[in-house]
Amino acid sequence: MVVLETVGHYLRRKREARGLVYTMLSAKTAETGKPLHSNSIRDIEQGKRVPKPETLRRLAIALTGKNALTHEYVEVDYEELLRLAGYLAAAPPLAPSLGSPRQPDDALPDGLVVPTSIDEALEIWGYVQRIPPAARPAVKRILRETAEIYEVGKKTAEEEAKEQPK
């Protein structure tokens, strides 16, 4: 059975590798500017809370360093945290003939951006934050309906193309 790693599993693995308990990690996040309560860290690890990109950045900084007992260096990859939390899409593999990591994807409608870098993800997150929380469910519903309409239209266009005599 294949178990996919979540952001919570990743953070817990790194926290334990550093030899830190929740309260110690909480104190280390305070050094990054704004403390993160130990209960919040526990909730993120248990999947009860989805962390914002800024929270992930602070956790990555706080968790990177040497284990006090084993002196092993632990590094936390901020981009991996963003990917596991769903803020970044996995980068597509390099095309052997073109050598470019980004290829046009016919399955995506024009203007749809799948972030593959931290900067792109944070820019998109900034737009999402401007939507009032009460309106977000309606925006999600509209986006889902738009995607469904796009898929139906795409299938119809493909069917028409197949039916046309050559």
pLDDT-wise least confident of 45-49, 108-112, 122-126, 134-138: 108-112
pLDDT value for 109 = 46
7-85: CATH topology is 434 Repressor (Amino-terminal Domain) (1.10.260)
| pLDDT for residue 165 is more than 70 | no
Q: Distance between CA 92 and CA 100 in Å, rounded?
A: 9
For the entire predicted model, the pTM comes to 0.55
pLDDT digits (tens, 9 = 90+) for 72-82: 899 998 888 88
pLDDT value for 115 = 59
| pLDDT for residue 59 is more than 70 | yes
Q: Are 82 and 34 in contact (CB under 8 A)?
A: no
Q: Are 36 and 59 in contact (CB under 8 A)?
A: yes
Domain ranges of the chain: 7-85, 118-163
**pLDDT tier for residue 16 given thresholds of 50, 70 and 90:** very high
Q: Are 74 and 63 in contact (CB under 8 A)?
A: yes
Cβ neighbours, 10 Å, residue 73: 11
pLDDT value for 155 = 66
pLDDT value for 62 = 93
Q: Distance between CA 96 and CA 94 in Å, rounded?
A: 6
